[in-house]
Structure 1
Amino acid sequence: MVMRVLISGASVAGPVLAYWLTRYGFSVTVIERAPALRKTGGHAVDLYQPAMTISERMGVLPRIEQRATGTSRMTLCPQGARRPVRLDLSKIFSATSDRHAEVMRDDLSEIYYDASRDDVEYVFGDSITAISPDGEVEFEKTAPRRYDLVVGADGLHSNVRRLVFGDESRFDAFIGAYLGVLTLPNTSGLDRELLIHVGVGRTAGMYGARHLGDARVLFLFRGERKLDYGHHDVPRQKELLRGAFDGMHPEVDRWLDELDRTPAFYFDSITQLRMDTWSRGRVTLVGDAGYCPGPAVGGSTSLAIVGAYVLAGELARADGDHERAFPAYERAMAEHVRGSRASALSAAKTLIPTSRLGVRGLVQGARLISALPAGPSRALLRLTTKTARVYNAMTVDDYPLPPAASGARVGLAGDPGGGLGNRLGVE
Structure 2
Amino acid sequence: MSTKVLISGASIAGPALAYWLGRYGFETTVVELAPALRGGGQAVDFRGRTHLTVLERMGVLDELRALGTGGSPMTFVDRRGRQLLRLPADFAGGDVEVPRGELAQVLHRRSLPHTEYLFGDSITAMEETPTGVRVAFRNGAPREFDLVIGADGLHSNVRRLAFGPEEDYVRHLGYYAATWQLPNYLGLPPGSVGLNVPGRLAAVGGDHRDPTRAGAFFVFASTELRYDRHDVAQQKALIQDAFAGLGWEVPGLLESLRQAPELYFDSISRADVPAWSSGRIALLGDAACGATIGGMGTGTAVVAAYVLAGELARACGDHRTAFARYEHTVRDYAQGCQKGGDRTGPFLAPGTATGLRVRNGLLNRRWILDRMLEMGKQVSSVDLPDYTTELSNAVASGVLGGGVGLRAARHRG
- Aligned partners of 2:171 and 2:225: how far apart in 1? 14
Identity %: 40
Provide Cα deviations, 1:265-321, integer angstroms capped at 9, x if missing partner. 12111121121112111000101122112x123211111111111111221222211
| 3-state SS of 2:114 partner | coil
- Aligned partners of 2:138 and 2:230: how far apart in 1? 19
Of 101, 105, 110, which residue of structure 2 is paired with 1:106?
101
Of 103, 127, 132, which residue of structure 1 is paired with 2:127?
132
- Aligned partners of 1:304 and 1:345: how far apart in 2? 18
> How far did 1:7 drift?
0.8
Closer/same/farther in 2, CA of residues 214 and 226 from structure 1, 3 Å limit: same
Residue 42 of structure 1 corresponds to 41
Of 313, 324, 328, which residue of structure 2 is paired with 1:327?
324
Q: Which runs of 5+ in 1 are unaligned?
A: 412-427
- Aligned partners of 1:168 and 1:74: how far apart in 2? 33
Of 191, 194, 215, which residue of structure 2 is paired with 1:193?
191
Indicate if the aligned counterparts of 2:194 and 2:201 stay in contact, CA closer than 8 A.
Answer: yes
> How far did 1:177 drift?
0.6
- Aligned partners of 1:409 and 1:309: how far apart in 2? 15
Indicate if the aligned counterparts of 2:174 and 2:268 stay in contact, CA closer than 8 A.
Answer: yes
1:314 aligns with 2:311: yes
Of 151, 154, 175, which residue of structure 1 is paired with 2:149?
151
> How far did 1:407 drift?
6.0
> How far did 1:262 drift?
1.3
1:218 aligns with 2:205: no
Indicate if the aligned counterparts of 1:297 and 1:348 stay in contact, CA closer than 8 A.
Answer: no
Provide Cα deviations, 1:344-368, integer angstroms capped at 9, x if missing partner. 1123221221222221122123322
Provide Cα deviations, 1:213-261, integer angstroms capped at 9, x if missing partner. 41111111111x2123211222221122122222333212211111111
Residue 360 of structure 2 corresponds to 363
Residue 395 of structure 2 corresponds to none
Instruction: Output the amino acid matched with 2:111.
Output: S
| Structure 2 counterparts to residues 408-427 of structure 1, below 5 A | 408-411=410-413
> How far did 1:2 drift?
1.5
TM-score (norm 2): 0.88
Residue 373 of structure 2 corresponds to 381
Closer/same/farther in 2, CA of residues 407 and 250 from structure 1, 3 Å limit: same
- Aligned partners of 1:410 and 1:77: how far apart in 2? 50
Indicate if the aligned counterparts of 1:58 and 1:115 stay in contact, CA closer than 8 A.
Answer: no
Residue 5 of structure 1 corresponds to 5
Q: Which runs of 5+ in 2 are unaligned?
A: 393-405
Closer/same/farther in 2, CA of residues 271 and 379 from structure 1, 3 Å limit: closer
Closer/same/farther in 2, CA of residues 406 and 160 from structure 1, 3 Å limit: closer
- Aligned partners of 1:147 and 1:123: how far apart in 2? 14
RMSD: 2.2
| 3-state SS of 2:128 partner | coil
Indicate if the aligned counterparts of 2:18 and 2:30 stay in contact, CA closer than 8 A.
Answer: yes
Indicate if the aligned counterparts of 2:333 and 2:380 stay in contact, CA closer than 8 A.
Answer: no
Provide Cα deviations, 1:17-63, integer angstroms capped at 9, x if missing partner. 01111222212111122222123x32222222333332222222233
- Aligned partners of 1:188 and 1:365: how far apart in 2? 30
Indicate if the aligned counterparts of 2:75 and 2:83 stay in contact, CA closer than 8 A.
Answer: no
Closer/same/farther in 2, CA of residues 197 and 3 from structure 1, 3 Å limit: same
TM-score (norm 1): 0.86
Residue 402 of structure 2 corresponds to none
Instruction: Output the amino acid matched with 1:362.
Output: R
- Give the count of matched residue pairs: 393
